[in-house]
Amino acid sequence: MKVFASTAALLVLVAITGCGKSNPVKPPLPQPKYAPSSTPSNVLRNLQIAYSTRDSTGYDSLFDAAYVGTSFDRISVNVLTFTKADESRHVAALARRYSITSVSLVFPPTLLRYTDAADTLGWATVQVNGTTLEINDNPTSYALPQGDMEFKFRPIAPSPGSPTDTTWRIVRWAELP
C-alpha cells in the first residue's frame, strides 16, 4: 500500500510539473497579421487581408490622406470618385452587417510595378490584372468580374520601424474599364 501511495504521488508530481524543458506542447509564437508596408506589394497584400477580414482600422492605415479612388458604374458608365473616408466607411459597413458570411478580395500572384513619368517623383504604380472580389450577403452573393486596377503609391521616408526606412501608402486607386 505504501508503494502504491508513493507511485501515485510521483505520477501526480510528474503530471503537474510536465516533462521538463523539452515539453513538446508549446504554443506557437503569434505571427503578425500584416506585413510591414515597406513595399507597394506588401501594401496590396495587406489590403487583401484587411478587406477580407473587414478590418476597418487596418484597411484605413493603408491609404494616404490625399487618397482618391475612381470606379465606373457598370450600368450608366458614370465615373464614381471615392475618398479615404469613403473607403473607411465602406469596410466598417461590411463589418457591421451580420448577414455577410464572407468577403474575399484576391489579387493575382504577379503584380506589375512600374514608374509613371506623369506621377510625382518617387511614386510607384502597380497594375493588377484579374482581381476578384466576392461578398456573400445571405442569401445574395455579389461578385466583381475579373477586374483590372491601377494603384499609385506615395513613399513616406524616413519611416522609423520600417525595414526599408520607407512606408508606402495608396494615394490613387483606379478601376480600369
Domain assignment present for residue 105? The answer is yes
> Has residue 72 been placed in a domain?
yes
In a domain, 27, yes or no: no
Beta strand pairing status for 124-137 and 140-156?
antiparallel
86 belongs to a structural domain:
yes
Q: What is the mean pLDDT of residues 153-163?
A: 80
Higher per-residue confidence, 47 vs 166: 47
Residue 108 within any structural domain of the chain: yes
What's the pLDDT at 72? 82
- As for how many domains the chain has, the answer is 1
Question: Is 6 domain-assigned?
Answer: no
| Residue 97 grid coordinates | 452587417
φ, ψ of residue 57 to 5 degrees: the values are: -70, -45
CATH of the domain at 117: 3.10.450.50
Q: What pLDDT is stored for residue 4 in this prediction?
A: 45
Mean pLDDT score across all residues of the chain? 83
Residue with cell 522609423: 160
CA distance 54 to 90: 9
168 assigned to some structural domain: yes
- Asked if the structure places residue 19 within a domain, the reply is no
Asked if residue 5 has pLDDT above 70, the reply is no
Measure the CA–CA gap between 30 and 46, rounded to whole angstroms.
17
Q: Which residue has the higher pLDDT, 80 or 31?
A: 80
Quick one: pLDDT band at residue 102, thresholds 50, 70, 90?
A: very high
User: Which residue range(s) make up the domain with 113?
Assistant: 40-176
